[in-house]
Amino acid sequence: MKPDLSVEIAGIQLKNPVMTASGTFGCGREYADLVDLKKLGAIVAKTVTLEPRKGNPPPRICETPSGMLNAIGLQNEGIDRFIEKEMPFLKKVGVPVIVNIAGDAVSDYVELCRRLSSVGDVAAIELNVSCPNVKAGGIAFGMHPGLVSEVVGACRRATGLPLIVKLTPNVGSVVGIARAAVGAGADAVSLINTVIGMSIDHNTFQPRLASGFGGLSGPAIRPIAVRMVWEVARELDVPIIGMGGVGDALDAVEFILAGATAVAVGTANFINPRATIDLIDGLEEFLIARGMDSVRDLVGKVKMDGSSPTC
Ligand SMILES: Cc1cc2nc3c(=O)[nH]c(=O)nc-3n(C[C@H](O)[C@H](O)[C@H](O)COP(=O)(O)O)c2cc1C
């Protein structure tokens, strides 16, 4: 008998724990010729904002020996176009659709939640809190527990849809931020977003990204992400979507053992557009090889004595 890959997260039933990471899979349509979208556990669309955004000037992507740096700047066509153009396509795919949103002020997030609540077929909203809060002087919402609490609480009051809060690793205590999100009504957390980094061209003496620095992603950040998932899972009773360098089934297993119920594939989509599908097949093989009935039996099963590391 085939093992059971189904999981539930934030009240959403997924046929497997594999989703796309926001911003690396467009709105699904871009991959439709290459990937059987129906096989995915869920599709997480790229960040949408109230108004269209052009994003940052190029170059806004560069490769480093240890991962990819990006500073796209949330280029998107705005919520009106998203609802009009992308949602009808996504609805037809028939897998849960998670819409990732961002704003410069709490009121932006609230308005986006309201608009999405009336669309239908939105399974959940993922709050990308890595944006700088204009009113708070530019500090990213996700770097401050008070701001996370404020934005999540306001969104909670604005929508009945499940809320997933996407956490940044660029903080001292990811657990403190996750606790603020859960306290304010988050149904799940997803982590991690990219790690802030910089690369400088030794010929031109200039940063390789026009905006100076950007977010590092890919296998290099996986150990950071796994550690953060484990820390959150140990401290809080909240479903976790793990991401950061997930490329194959064994990477996914690491995150699940650390405490993630589901995983999202990001940068790996650029290397192998079918990475999500290969991962789902690989996960099934992993469970069969170990005689396991369900992927849920792996969640949080890392063997640890619980002691704190010392340096
Ligand atoms: C090119 C690129 C664009 C991204 N755009 C978004 C975005 O629009 N919204 C968001 O929440 N995260 C965005 N991310 C972050 C990813 O969703 C993910 O959290 C991060 O890249 C770590 O996963 P990975 O190492 O598998 O890529 C982006 C990442 C990349 C590489």
Alpha helices in the chain (DSSP H): 78-81, 87-93, 106-117, 145-158, 174-183, 222-235, 249-258, 268-271, 275-289
How confident is residue 135, by pLDDT bands cut at 50, 70 and 90?
confident
pLDDT value, residue 232: 98
Q: pLDDT digits over 178-236, tens only? A: 999 999 999 999 999 999 999 999 999 999 999 999 999 999 999 999 999 999 999 99
pLDDT value, residue 308: 67
**Do the Cβ atoms of 233 and 167 come closer than 8 Å?**
no
Q: How remote is the CA of residue 219 from the centroid of ligand 1, in Å?
A: 13
Please state the domain extents for the chain: 7-298
In three-state secondary structure terms, 223 is helix
The yes-or-no verdict on residue 172 having pLDDT over 70 is yes
**Do the Cβ atoms of 180 and 148 come closer than 8 Å?**
yes
Ligand 1 atom with the smallest distance to the CA of 264 is 26
pLDDT value, residue 130: 86
Ligand 1 atom with the smallest distance to the CA of 225 is 22
DSSP for 38-79? GGSSBEEPPPB-SS-B--PPSP-EEEETTEEEE-----B-HH
Q: pLDDT digits over 236-278, tens only? A: 999 999 999 999 999 999 999 999 999 999 999 999 999 999 9
Residues labelled as active-site residues: 131
Please list every protein residue whose CB sits less than 6 Å from any atom of ligand 1: 21-24, 46-47, 68, 70, 72, 74, 100, 128, 166, 193-194, 217-218, 221, 243-246, 265-268
In three-state secondary structure terms, 166 is strand
Pairing of strands 124-128, 18-20: unpaired
pLDDT value, residue 1: 86
How confident is residue 112, by pLDDT bands cut at 50, 70 and 90?
very high
CA distance 65 to 120: 43
Pairwise pLDDT comparison (116 vs 130), residue with the higher score: 116
For the chain, the average pLDDT equals: 95
CA 52 to chain centre: 21
At the fourth CATH level, which superfamily is domain 7-298?
Aldolase class I (3.20.20.70)
Q: How remote is the CA of residue 161 from the centroid of ligand 1, in Å?
A: 23
CA distances from 194 to 10, 43, 156, 171, 224 (A): 23, 19, 25, 12, 10
Residue ID of nearest Cα to ligand 1 atom 21: 217
Query: In the numeric block, which tokens belong to residue 290?
Result: 């170990």
The yes-or-no verdict on residue 306 having pLDDT over 80 is no
Q: How remote is the CA of residue 240 from the centroid of ligand 1, in Å?
A: 16
